[in-house]
Amino acid sequence: MTKFDDNTVQCLVCGSSRLEEAYVDEVFNVDGRHVLVEHIPARRCRQCGELTFDSETTERVRLLLHESATPTRSVTLDVFDLATA
Ligand SMILES: [Zn+2]
């Protein structure tokens, strides 16, 4: 997850300004526990696919994950590890 300045209008990876609004699902590792956060507002680069989140969103996710909020639901997560594949 790339944190960026709210005024950023260019992709930090490839420099493209072709960003689109998107809602994404991201898995975070919180103290060794993986949690999935859905419908995170983001900007996605149409050129390279890099996702950027504004600082308010980053803070909201951080608070959500660290204030032991009650999850909406739980799912079983299949994990694949390229290091052992
Ligand atoms: Zn890009």
Task: Indicate whether 38 belongs to any domain.
Answer: yes
Structurally, how many domains does the chain consist of? 1
Phi, psi of 55 (to 5 degrees): -65, -30
Q: Are 42 and 61 in contact (CB under 8 A)?
A: no
Q: Residues whose CB is under 5 A from ligand 1 (ion)?
A: 11, 13-14, 16, 45, 47-48, 50
Task: Indicate whether 80 belongs to any domain.
Answer: no
CA–centroid distance, residue 5 to ligand 1 (Å): 16
Of all residues in the chain, what percent carry a pLDDT higher than 90? 49
User: Which stretches of the chain are DSSP H helices?
Assistant: 55-66
Task: Indicate whether 75 belongs to any domain.
Answer: no
pTM: 0.70
Per residue in 44-55, pLDDT (tens digit) is 999 999 999 989
How far, rounded to the nearest angstrom, does the alpha carbon of residue 62 sit from its chain's CA centroid? Answer: 11
Q: What is the CATH number of the domain that holds 39?
A: 3.10.20.860
CA–centroid distance, residue 19 to ligand 1 (Å): 8
Range of the domain at 50: 2-66
CA distances from 32 to 27, 35, 53 (A): 12, 10, 23
